[in-house]
Chain A
Amino acid sequence: MAIGRKIVHEPMMCQHCENAPCETVCPVNATVHSEDGLNVMAYNRCVGTRYCANNCPFKVRRFNFFDYNQRPVGKKKIAGKFGIYQEYFAPLTTKGAPDTVKMQKNPNVTVRMRGVMEKCTFCVQRIEEAKIAAHVHAGASNNTRIPRDSFTSACAQACPTEAIVFGDIKDPESRVSKMKQQDRNYRLLNYLNVNTRTSYLARIRNPNPKMPDAAKIGVASILKEEHSSNGEAKPAEERE
């Protein structure tokens, strides 16, 4: 009996774990936790040991293996059909990017140099922008709280189906907090006790019960199935 494979798209950005395995292993304290609950990356402190990327169970960290921003990269044809990758000849090239390339980059986002680790920052530049705007708006008063759901991350903004929701989970009335209260909410690899900030809502499917794999639809493989008295399979509670 063939069980059909079902595919879901699961955007995998930095999960900003509370108990981040990447933070404890960085020898130079380049990746630390902020009071906002973000796992922040200090590019100028990073020496590039790549231990954080190795220890990330989600493998969301990306390393700058070459000088992507200052040297020409990519395949270049020389001598007819013979193609070489320019990044391997970096010392022989001139350093510096053309102005058009520099102008294309977001001025609020640090340009990372060769040898540092980077990852999703939950658009920390937008968070800081919102904080600064809130302080400016507050003026002399102490009311510096950012208005609920007033800004969002770039990925959430770009998603055409609004599949990504960003917000303040400490505020119980924010959109993201309400979504996390649903039963469908789950975190990835939580048995590792990493306490990810990012969580996912399980996809609801409505299979025809007569299909052979109907019982397995929407059930994560890590959950064991229990059979109830009337012979139907139902998933057991997820053990944490």
Chain B
Amino acid sequence: METAPTAPRVISDEKPLARVPLVLNKRNFSWLTERISGVVEQPAPRWWWVTFTITATIAAFGVFCLGYQISTGVGTWGLNHPVGWAWDITNFVFWIGIGHAGTLISAILFLLRQKWRTSINRSAEAMTLFAVMCAAIFPGIHVGRVWMAWFLAPVPNSWGVWPNFRSPLMWDVFAVSTYFTVSVLFWYTGLIPDLATLRDRATSKIKKLLFGIFAVGWRGSNRNWRHYEMAYLVLAGLSTPLVLSVHSVVSFDFATSILPTWHTTIFPPYFVAGAIFGGFAMVLTLMLPARAIFKLHDIITPQHVDKMAKIILLTGSFVSYAYAMEFFMAWYSGNQYEKFAFFNRIFGPYWWYWWVGMLFCNALSPQLFWFKWCRRNVYVVYFVCMCVNAGMWFERFIIIVGGLHRDFLPSSWGMFYPTWVDIWTFIGTFGIFTSLFLLFIRFLPMIAMSEVKTVLPESNPHHGPAPGHSPPVIAGKEHA
């Protein structure tokens, strides 16, 4: 439902330096509500069912592979001595890294008052939750005895044994569980006003009941908004250090060990930058099709894509610098194990992972974003994002398997080759991730309506009447 755009009026108090509007085509509150709620309220389109069936099938097969591996043994993967970790931990770090972009958009950009985050933060945060869920699968199931994985929890037990708090895997347990908890709370808190909108617009009883329960009695009053803003700020403040610390803790899995390519202090910033790099690429991978399908170009504008591309360029450059520094330090150190390990990275048996994954995909492809036409062309952006997604996975693989397969004693060297169980478990997690994301866009508003409204000029109390139908706001409830 689109009203004909009125002729542009000069608004008397408009600031002389006009910024590119964050919502194009002078949309108003009600257009926004209709457009975004409409996705949830209308029945799911056929493409949604087709895609969901495919991803759910893949997810189910992934779960079967997990069951096979847990019942038969870790040997169903390609692991052997000396490579004790390969796809399992690569996938774990890959998914956790992706999650960090969502929290950066939601929390850090909020604290930095970047208003452009409002159209992408809901989906990005949802992506974080699903990515963390996919990530958390791996530490749980990669252990030899999954039914005893609860040993890692610090609970009093009959043997009087605590877990080993010096181990980075324990730190992972705390970091990832904290991250997931805070992310869920943050995402849910932000959802409350939108759930209330959906509750008020609900046509069927069941929808009204469910949205009503989860909207926890939101009335849109001044008091509600004040508490909401405070809670949002506190949770953003809690999430911000998590973005930096969680992936640093994950990097400690490697940095605190003694193996040549693992034992390096560059890992915490390297991993965090890489996480944001890969995560933004995944956000765009999801958002560019979503905006094309649901015609959300006015809300997720080319300006948003441009800004995200710039962040990808920035973090990609950090990562490229880190790569260069690793090579430099390996040479400068004179340590023969370190020098060999990095020589092996480029010329050893896994050479093409480095050349394709780290060099071309991670270091070179984002450099296209220096050019404005590249940032503005969705196909180039999508291509670079896919490259980065793949490149980040390859990078983690090179770090993990590259470090393990050839370390100190040449007599211990051994190759790793993945089995079908490795591969399909990973593809299965993509199925889980995409299925959850499809469910999210079907049942929940994928854009934060209440937050996007705050960046419309209409939300400014000193603004004149908005173009088109402008509903009076009475007692906090919007009459659509």
Tell me the A residues contacting B by CB distance below 8 Å: 12, 21, 24-29, 45-51, 53-55, 57-59, 61-67, 87-91, 113-117, 188-189, 192, 194, 222
Contact = CB atoms under 8 A, between A and B. Distances in A.
Given A53-B81, A54-B84, A47 B145 contact: yes
B404 A54 contact: yes
A89 B253 CA distance: 33
A91 B161 CA distance: 32
A29 B161 contact: yes
> Majority SS of interface residues in chain B?
loop
Given A46-B145, A194-B258, 12 more contacts: A12-B409, A25-B257, A28-B152, A51-B253, A53-B82, A58-B408, A59-B81, A65-B75, A88-B76, A89-B72, A91-B68, A113-B145
Given A65-B80, A87-B75, A28 B163 contact: yes
Contact of B407 (A59, A67, A89): A59
Nearest to B68: A91
Interface of B: 68, 71-76, 79-82, 84-85, 142-145, 148-149, 151-152, 161-164, 166-170, 173, 253, 256-259, 336, 404, 407-409, 411-412
B144 A55 contact: no
Of the candidates A57, A64, A67, the one having the most CB atoms from chain B within 10 angstroms of its own CB is: A57
A53 B144 contact: no
A24 B167 contact: yes
Contacts of B143: 47-49, 115
Contacts of A117: 144
Given A12-B411, A28-B164, A58-B409, A21 B151 contact: no
Contacts of B151: 27-28, 45, 47
B257 A29 contact: no
Of the candidates B162, B257, B259, the one having the most CB atoms from chain A within 10 angstroms of its own CB is: B257
A192 B258 contact: yes
13 contacts: A25-B169, A27-B152, A28-B161, A47-B143, A47-B152, A48-B144, A51-B169, A53-B81, A54-B82, A57-B258, A58-B408, A115-B145, A189-B408
A116 B152 contact: no
Give the 3 A-B residue pairs with the shortest CB-CB distance, closest first: A48-B144, A115-B144, A65-B75
Given A27-B167, A66-B75, A54 B152 contact: no
Contacts of B149: 47
A63 B74 contact: yes
Nearest to A113: B145
Given A24-B166, A28-B151, A28-B163, A63 B259 contact: no
A233 B365 CA distance: 51
Given A25-B169, A62-B81, A57 B408 contact: yes
A46 B71 contact: no
A194 to B, nearest CB: 8
B259 A55 contact: yes
A50 B144 contact: yes
A61 B336 CA distance: 24
B258 to A, nearest CB: 5
Contacts of A51: 84-85, 167-169, 253, 257
B169 A49 contact: yes
A114 B404 CA distance: 22
Nearest to A49: B143
A225 B405 CA distance: 30
A89 B409 CA distance: 34
A60 to B, nearest CB: 9
B167 to A, nearest CB: 4
Nearest to A116: B144
Of the candidates B68, B144, B149, the one having the most CB atoms from chain A within 10 angstroms of its own CB is: B144
A26 B81 contact: no
A57 B259 contact: yes
Given A65-B79, A114-B73, A115-B145, A50 B85 contact: yes
Given A21-B257, A62-B81, A116-B144, A57 B73 contact: no
A50 B81 CA distance: 10
Contacts of B256: 24-25
Nearest to B162: A29
Contacts of A55: 257-259
A54 B79 CA distance: 12
A62 B258 CA distance: 18
A124 B207 CA distance: 66
B87 to A, nearest CB: 13
Given A59-B412, A90-B73, A49 B142 contact: yes
Contacts of B84: 50-51, 53-54, 63
Nearest to A85: B75
B161 A47 contact: no
B257 A65 contact: no
Contacts of B166: 24-25
Contact of B85 (A21, A47, A54, A188): A54
Nearest to B82: A59
A222 B336 CA distance: 8
A46 B468 CA distance: 67
B157 to A, nearest CB: 11
A27 B411 contact: no
Nearest to B161: A29
Contacts of B145: 46-48, 113-116
Contacts of B259: 54-55, 57
A228 B394 CA distance: 49
A57 to B, nearest CB: 5
Of the candidates A26, A46, A49, A63, the one having the most CB atoms from chain B within 10 angstroms of its own CB is: A49
Given A25-B169, A45-B161, A48-B74, A54 B257 contact: yes
Contacts of A58: 408-409, 412
A29 B142 contact: no
Contacts of A189: 408-409
Contacts of A88: 72, 75-76
A90 B71 contact: yes
